[in-house]
Each structure stands twice: as C-alpha cells, then as structure tokens.
Structure 1
C-alpha cells in the first residue's frame, strides 16, 4: 500500500518549492520525492482534492496561491500577492469556499473567496492591534494561525498578543469578532487543535513551550481555561520553541 502526500518547504537553502512524496506502508519508507511546483517559500499548504492552496512569495511580494494537481505536477491557477512578507498559515473552508491566511509579519487575517475555477477574490482583512506580550519576539501583533472551529467560526492565534480571537464568518467572507481568549503574558500563542468532541481545544505557546487545554462554548464562540501543561522540564534554561 502506497500513499502520496505534499510537503511545503522553505527555500532559503536547497529546497526548490512544493514537493510530493510517497509513503510505502509495506516497507515503512518515504520514496519518490519529486518537485511538483517550483516556488519561493511555499511554507504551508492545504490540499483539497486535486486543488492546493499554498503560501506564495515572489521577491518582495507575499501572499497566497491556488494550484491544480495534474499529471504529477501542480499548475498555478491564481495568486494574490502584496508588498511584504508572505503569511504563515492558510486554512480552507469547504462549505463556504473561503480561504483564510494569517500573516505573522503584518498581524493580519485575510479572507478570499474561491471560485469554481480556483481563482481567488479577497473579501475581507482584519489587522490585529493592541497590547503585546513581554518577550522580544512580541514586538507587534503576529497572527500565526487561522482555521475553523468545529461550528465553522474562525479561530486565530496571535503569537505577539498571547491571544486567540474567534470570528463569526458570513457566507460572503466577512469577519465579525465573537470573542477573545487571553493567555498568560509571554505564552506566544502559535497553533491550536480541537479534540474530536468539538468541546475542547489544545493551544500551543511557542515562546513559553506550554500547552493550554481550553473549553470551547459553541453558543458564544468563546474559550475558557482548563489546564496549562509544560512541554519542557522546569529546570530547562536553554532556548526552546514549541511549534
């Protein structure tokens, strides 16, 4: 039994872009690594059938792009680029055909409508503003993750603000803030994953190397704290970043 999957990469050294690789389950090996799209810094991607939505950079421009998988290659359909660094994350909304991006450097969350042919149209953008954490890396808001809750709201992790913001999303791709969950100062909120029951989320702090367990209230779209767990020993003093 073989299984193919895609890998997004940084391209500052030897990598050339987006790759496919085959997992051979019988031999427990990764095989047949091949470049499917030459691209600058496609660091994160979402595959939906034969479509791929990926972070895109072109020199001093950054944004998102859509690709079509065909005959072992990924063909560019559309890209939306703007001045500055590319996003850190892309999330896809199958029901509403929306693409979300979180831009670490700009502190922005951007929404795009995905047409049936894969082309992209921006529908909204919010810029995080407010007090940031005490760590050197928290010099400004840094949106790092933007993806759906089980009830189809949008949860955004902001590493700079130690914050999870939940947005209501309209069918035409407009965001309205529903709630804000504030972690401890210096937590460095980076990423979250929901439990299959849809009522609990696990939030990872990059700068603190801690994991928070949160209860999710679908009626209000809000989080409440249950538990905080360290991922490193209490006497650890060297640098560590949780991802």
Structure 2
C-alpha cells in the first residue's frame, strides 16, 4: 500500500477546508527571526507528497503562556515528516520521512532549537515509516514501517547521525497484511513494544545494545479487525492504554515489567453510545498526573477524554469535544498541560483548546494555524 493510499485508505480525502498554503508566511518569519525565541518551540510535520502538499518539517514557537503558534521556518530536505523523537541530551531530533516504496529517517542537530540542521537521511529498509523512538540506551533509533509491516533498528553514530540498519523485525499478519504503526520503549527501558494494525498484534521484544538485534519475547494478538494503532503507558508503569484504529475502542492492558508481559483486561468505547459513521481513533495520550487519558477520533473529529480509575486499571469516557478541524490524526499536550494541540490532517489545521486541570476536559477551540496535510506536533 502506498504512502498516499495509507493516508486516505479510511475514506476519500476531504477538501482542503480551512487549509491555506503558508510557505511565504514561514519564509518571512524565518527572515525576521535572528535568535531563538524565549517561548516554547514545537516541530510540526506534514505530508509533502499528499494534496494539498504540506511543508514537511515546520518550526513554530509559543510565547510564554500565550497558546498561539507562530511560524518560524520550514526546514528544507525533510519530506513527508510524520513523527518525531529526540535524544535524551536534547541535541538531536529524529524524524520519519514517510516515503514509499522506500522510506527513511532524518537526523537533525537541534542544539539551536529553532534552527534545525539536517545531519543526514538513512533508509528505514521499508515503506512508509510512520513512527519512531530513540531506544533507552541512546544508541539506536527504532522506526515502524507501516507499508511493509516491519521495525528497523538504526545505530546512532557520533554527532547524532544514523548508520545503516543493524536489524529488521518483520511482522506477519494472520488475516491481513502487517502494518507496523508504532514502536516505543516501556517505562523501565528494558523492553521494546511495537504495535501492528494489520496483524492485530502488539510485539514485546528485547534489544541487544551490543549487536543492535531485536529478539521477540511476546506477541499479544487482539480480536480480528481491531486494528491496534498506538499505545500509551500510565505514569505508574503498570498499565497501558491501546487505541484501536478500526474499532472505536481503547483496550486496557496490564504490564508486568519484570516478566515483560502485556495482558488485555478491558475494552472501553472511545465514542458515546449510539455513535455511527466513520469512527477511527488516532492518537492516545495520558496526563502527567495519570488522572486522565485522551484519544483523537477521526470521523466525528473529537477529543475523547477518559477518567482513570484509582488503581489505574480502568478508563471511563467522560466527554467528547470537537477539535475544530477535520480528521484529527494527532494530539499533543503543551509542556505545562494547559493546552491541547491537535493536527487535523484533512482541514490542514493545527487547533488549540484549553485544558481544565481539575476535570481534565478540553474547552472550546481558541485558535488555529493552517498547515496543509498536517499530521503531528512535537514540543522541543
């Protein structure tokens, strides 16, 4: 499946809506900015090969407590940027370049956060890499190739650049072709978890830091057609919440870090009872205090808010709030968790909504920034 068709396979792509090309706006802002902003910096990814063409990688800033995002510059040479992670020292940013038939991962020097410098691009050994993480050892980057259903291991070299792959873990779907959608470290850093939408599975593996090789430890198989997309761990470290793309549900799993084992224990709806039409969860996140979880739902275009039970093992849907855009692929909380930032892919907008710390619920949309074919927001 091509990168373009992956982005539209859930239905025909909607119109540009509120999206407008902001190339000149980003260029003008970059010329005016002579030094790093005192505000918070974020990186915004968008698809350059999808109509309307996005920018790839944009740098934006947020001044103090003001939620509005201000464009700074577009970083050249980073096509189809769709996921971000950074090294623990904060000096290197890694980005998936979601190309098809062969994707890549870019490494950028962000020692000056508003002026990323491209260090190089390395093949992901597969198609449409859609997610990545820096391994807990800080010696490897792992990326999930959606198109080919595999996870690649790329060694981090001196200076932050990436070397050729040391391993490629190929998934196999029982009923559908595999589509790896996420790869993450567990909270202890000992285990690597990869989520595969096509194989209806979550894989738990170890990574040998001496050889850069993955070894499968456990495979959790979910009900056929669940389409697991992304999971997020609770801060307590004993539970994870898994958003299912093909069913509007979140699966709660217990996590035994000592044994490296996931166990599904509950399934919770991500939409109110009686919802119909397109219902496709996207991103999932958990608040730092562990009291709330959030999922975007494409179709109704909402942020679903869940309260977390006292022992962290249960979720309850408490609200569904309009994101103010079309097809919310991703959601990010500001570093102080007072604002939500939602990447609405089909309307080409990043919208921001206030967050009530006591109830956990989003308020009404307070503003937006147009970025064609936007897919994610990452705070530096």
Residue by residue over 1:59-102, the C-alpha shift from the partner in whole angstroms, topping out at 9 and shown as x without a partner, is 75312121112654322212222676330101112424110000
SS in 2 for 1:61: coil
Aligned to 2:117: 75
What's the offset of the Cα at 1:14?
Answer: 3.9
Aligned to 1:61: 102
Q: Distance in 1 between matches of 2:173 and 2:225?
A: 15
What's the TM-score, normalizing by structure 1? 0.90
Of 147, 153, 165, 2:184 maps to: 147
- Does the aligned pair in 2 maintain the 1:96–1:171 contact within 8 Å? no
Of 38, 41, 45, 1:8 maps to: 45
1:123 aligns with 2:162: no
Bigger share in helix? 2
1:83–1:50 Cα change, 3 Å: closer
RMSD: 2.0
Q: How does 1:1-243 map to 2 (within 5 A)?
A: 2-11=39-48, 12=50, 13-48=52-87, 49-56=90-97, 60-69=101-110, 72-81=114-123, 85-121=127-163, 122-132=165-175, 139-152=176-189, 153-172=191-210, 173-243=212-282
- Does the aligned pair in 2 maintain the 1:162–1:186 contact within 8 Å? yes
- Does the aligned pair in 1 maintain the 2:105–2:124 contact within 8 Å? no
- Does the aligned pair in 2 maintain the 1:60–1:83 contact within 8 Å? no
1:181–1:236 Cα change, 3 Å: same
Bigger share in strand? 1
Q: Distance in 1 between matches of 2:279 and 2:236?
A: 31
Residue by residue over 1:126-154, the C-alpha shift from the partner in whole angstroms, topping out at 9 and shown as x without a partner, is 1111403xxxxxx3011100110112210
Q: Distance in 1 between matches of 2:230 and 2:218?
A: 17
What's the offset of the Cα at 1:162?
Answer: 1.2
Aligned to 2:326: none
Residue by residue over 1:160-216, the C-alpha shift from the partner in whole angstroms, topping out at 9 and shown as x without a partner, is 111110001111321111111122221111001111111110111011011011100
Q: Distance in 1 between matches of 2:137 and 2:126?
A: 30
Bigger RCO of structures 1 and 2 (CA < 8 A, at least 6 apart): 2
- Does the aligned pair in 1 maintain the 2:98–2:129 contact within 8 Å? no
Q: Distance in 2 between matches of 1:57 and 1:177?
A: 25
- Does the aligned pair in 1 maintain the 2:94–2:107 contact within 8 Å? yes
SS in 2 for 1:8: strand
What's the TM-score, normalizing by structure 2? 0.59
